[in-house]
Amino acid sequence: QVQLVESGGGLVQAGNSLRLSCAASGRDLSSYAVGWFRQAPGEERLFVASISKSGINVNYADSVKGRFAIARDSAENTVSLQINSLEFEDTAVYYCAAASTIYPDQTYRVRSRYTYWGQGTQVTVSS
């Protein structure tokens, strides 16, 4: 069993950058595919990005591709989400999740594929 904690959120101005971090305890994050999701008020939780166990395969939602980057830091047992050129529409609670089940397609874009979830970190973008 792994416990996940997100950090790095806050109030930021549009156009700036932010780096979120997903820290794990109890297990090595390299044992899991890891995803980032976000949820705005009154809306469903949506896929943002994912990274495979090896760190080689990454996937992004069309809305964030080119601005967001997901990466592993095995030494720190974390997975980060770098957010550049922040827009108002990026405002949401951001969650990281770990998938313990092996899937042949290695995409991990669906919430049901994840076993463990963090509590989330708030990102608020102002003008």
The helix/strand/coil state of 90 is helix
Q: How confident is the model at residue 104 (pLDDT cuts 50, 70, 90)?
A: confident
Q: Residue 44 has which token pair?
A: 């469903």
Could you give the CA distance from residue 123 to residue 94 in angstroms, rounded to a whole number? 7
CB 59 within 8 A of CB 33: no
3, amino acid identity: Q
Could you give the CA distance from residue 80 to residue 74 in angstroms, rounded to a whole number? 11
Report the pLDDT averaged over residues 61-65: 94
Alpha helices in 16-87 (DSSP H): none
State the residue for tokens 């999701």. Answer: 37
Q: Read off the pLDDT of residues 64-76 as tens digits, 9 standing for 90 and up.
A: 999 999 999 989 9
What's the pLDDT at 98? Answer: 97
Q: What are phi and psi of 101, to 5 degrees?
A: -85, 140
What one-character DSSP code corresponds to residue 63?
Answer: T
